[in-house]
Amino acid sequence: MAMPERLKPTPATPKIRALMKGLLKQILDRIWDNQERESPEISALIQQWNSHAGRPFEFHEFRDMHSHTSAANFLRTAFHQERYVDDLSFAEACALADFICLCEGTESDTDYALNLLETNFPRPMPRT
């Protein structure tokens, strides 16, 4: 089952995507040049990245990125914004769960769907 259309993340414009791709390369190059230590220059680049991203990123996420995902996937996650959906229906929640369980999207889309469920159901009721 596909992710419900209204719950899909808003795609970035080509201009913003190109800007973020360039920033990611700069950040990763600076981290490599600086032997994986944070610096004011890297912090400024991350701050610029965060001004366009759907959520704030931290230094360690860039430093450790290659150990758990690709640059393309990392870039996609930058545009995924967690949000609470006031009128989320039971059918939509089930569709999100199916989307996750059936691995119907990319890694970043699956992560987005999981975060969307966790944001909308922060403390599920325990079974009795």
* Per-residue DSSP letter, 78: H
DSSP for 5-58, please give it: GGGSPPPPPHHHHHHHHHHHHHHHHHHHHTTT---HHHHHHHHHHHTTSSS---
- Looking at residue 127, its pLDDT comes to 72
For residue 95, tell me if it sits in a domain: yes
Q: In 3D, which of 69, 78, 91 has the Cα closest to residue 3?
A: 91
* pTM for the predicted model, two decimal places: 0.74
Q: What residues make up the domain containing 87?
A: 83-120
Whether residues 18 and 72 share a domain: the answer is: yes
For residue 9, tell me if it sits in a domain: no
For residue 4, tell me if it sits in a domain: no
98 sits in the region (left: phi over 0; alpha: psi -120 to 50; else beta) called alpha
Whether residues 62 and 41 share a domain: the answer is: yes
Whether residues 18 and 71 share a domain: the answer is: yes
pLDDT digits (tens, 9 = 90+) for 10-28: 888 999 999 999 999 999 9
pLDDT digits (tens, 9 = 90+) for 44-69: 999 999 999 988 999 999 999 988 88
Whether residues 18 and 60 share a domain: the answer is: yes
